Amino acid sequence: MPGRPRAALAMWLDSAEAVFDPDTLAALGEVADLEPRVLTDFTTDHARAVLADVEVLVTGWGCPELTAAVLADAPRLRAVVHTGGSVRGHVTPACWDRGVEVSSAAAANALPVAEYTVAMILLTGKRVLERSREHRVTRREDDWLHTSKTIGNFGRTIGLLSASTIGRRVVDLLRPFDLHVLLHDPYVTSEEAEALGVELVDLPALFARSDLVSVHTPLLPETRGLVSRELIDAMPPDAVLLNTARGAVVDQAALTDALLENRIRAVLDVTDPEVLPPDHPLWDNDNVLISPHVAGSQGNEWRRLARAAVAEVERWAAGEGFAHPVRRELFGQLA
């Protein structure tokens, strides 16, 4: 559809202000006829007036659900361009029923998560956080010639749970390092695994053989509690569980027991619940690093998401189609 389509932002006001700085907002205005007010509620008279004419919705965190009733108020809507990763919170099957094309910035958002993952893989291999904490206490020179042979990243085995967009980006970023990468993903064939340069294994082997397991599977009904007590108990002594996906993929009670018993270590950017209760024992446990869901895009990284959205609107307006479409047939596998 050539020309400048009529477009509107649909998200929380805070989301719009965080993701779109003046430059990227101006860039979006160059490729689309942009409604100046952000839509935060599709039921107002103003929103209905905008929806009646809008062709593209640029969505973000807090976008209301695009139900069949909302779509009925938007007869000209043909595309949804999401500035975040998952579209599950607002895109419904009714969108595809209506022939609305959907795009996501999941690929752009995958990079900072993958960067966080790789950083933590390397830091845990050298036990940097624990040794730094000890160094602060002892304030003595490290006896580096007698470092344990368990410390370091040479030849370390890294297990990835799911070849998601993030999981695949992690594989790419790990290539320069002397690591052996295992992968479990029921949707990946042996030929695909060979092309990725990873060893495809079953789920028990992933946990039994890996020095670190990094969780990248989406939270779906079938993946809730997937990282079970049995799998956690099978991890080698001092292995690391790294979770940047969703806390509920992991059996939180089983993980807590393993950490309190000093059997394994963990890096948790997500937990179940998302913020653990103030009196939870993991807050004071030295075997775990808990970060406040910081792996995804934040701060200046939001500009990458906004620029990705502008590029998608420009491609769509030129009739070239989306570079990062969300396909209906894959919707059930997405985060």
For residue 6, what pLDDT is reported? 97
Kindly report the pTM of this predicted structure: 0.92
Residues 6+ apart with CB under 8 A from 71: 77, 94, 95, 98, 100
Q: At what angle do helices 165-174 and 106-125 cross, to 10 degrees?
A: 50
Six-digit token string for 134: 């000890």
**Has 140 been annotated as catalytic?**
no
**Has 90 been annotated as catalytic?**
no
Region for residue 123 given its phi and psi (left: phi exceeds 0; alpha: psi -120 to 50; beta: otherwise): alpha
DSSP β-ladder status, 265-268 and 240-243 = parallel
**Alpha-carbon distance 156 to 146, whole Å?**
19
**Alpha-carbon distance 208 to 41, whole Å?**
49
Task: Choose the catalytic residue: 6, 293, 303, 315.
Answer: 293
**Has 133 been annotated as catalytic?**
no
Domain 110-290 has CATH 3.40.50.720: yes
pLDDT by position in tens, the chain (length 335): 457 999 999 999 999 999 999 999 999 999 999 999 999 999 999 999 999 999 999 999 999 999 999 999 999 999 999 999 889 899 999 999 999 999 999 999 999 999 999 999 999 999 998 888 888 888 998 888 888 888 999 999 999 999 999 999 999 999 999 999 999 999 999 999 999 999 999 999 999 999 999 999 999 999 999 999 999 999 999 999 999 999 999 999 999 999 999 999 999 999 999 999 999 999 999 999 999 999 999 999 999 999 999 999 999 999 999 999 999 887 666 65
Task: Choose the catalytic residue: 169, 246, 265, 307.
Answer: 246
Block residue for tokens 């060979």:
194
- Topology of domain 6-103+299-333, CATH: Rossmann fold (3.40.50)
Cis peptide before 273 (omega within 30 of 0): yes
Question: CATH 3.40.50.720 residue ranges in the chain?
Answer: 6-103+299-333, 110-290
Task: Choose the catalytic residue: 175, 274, 327, 328.
Answer: 274
